[in-house]
């Protein structure tokens, strides 16, 4: 049976039902579709140079106003 509850009670019920996720070590080949237990970062940059063609920058121009006729910024790409 479904009944309405106040927000505070719903939050308390949800918090009481939550459990700490189980952690396990798995080999990299078995790690597909899993979530890391902690952040992972590379020991070195790859590629080891700054190259926007490889870095893949994205810019949202809508409502920005910086890119217009006469602007030193040139925009091209796809939507």
Cα(44)–Cα(56) distance, integer angstroms: 18
The per-residue pLDDT for range 16-44, each reduced to its tens digit, is 999 988 999 999 899 999 999 999 888 88
Residue 58 has pLDDT above 60, yes or no: yes
Helix, strand, or coil (residue 77): coil
Percent of the chain topping pLDDT 70: 62
Percent of the chain topping pLDDT 90: 35
Query: Is the whole model's pTM more than 0.85, yes or no?
Result: no
Query: Which pair of tokens denotes residue 36?
Result: 């890391």
Burial class (CB in 10 A: 0-12, 13-18, 19+), 51: exposed
Contact (CB, 8 A) for 34 and 26: yes
Contact (CB, 8 A) for 15 and 7: no
């Amino acid at each position: 049976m479904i009944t309405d509850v106040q927000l505070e009670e719903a939050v308390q019920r949800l918090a009481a039902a939550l459990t700490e996720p189980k952690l396990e070590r798995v080999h990299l080949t078995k790690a597909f579709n899993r979530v890391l237990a902690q952040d992972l970062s590379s020991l070195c940059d790859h590629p080891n140079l700054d190259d926007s063609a490889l870095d893949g920058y994205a810019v949202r121009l809508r409502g920005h106003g910086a890119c217009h006729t006469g602007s030193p910024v040139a925009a091209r790409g796809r939507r």
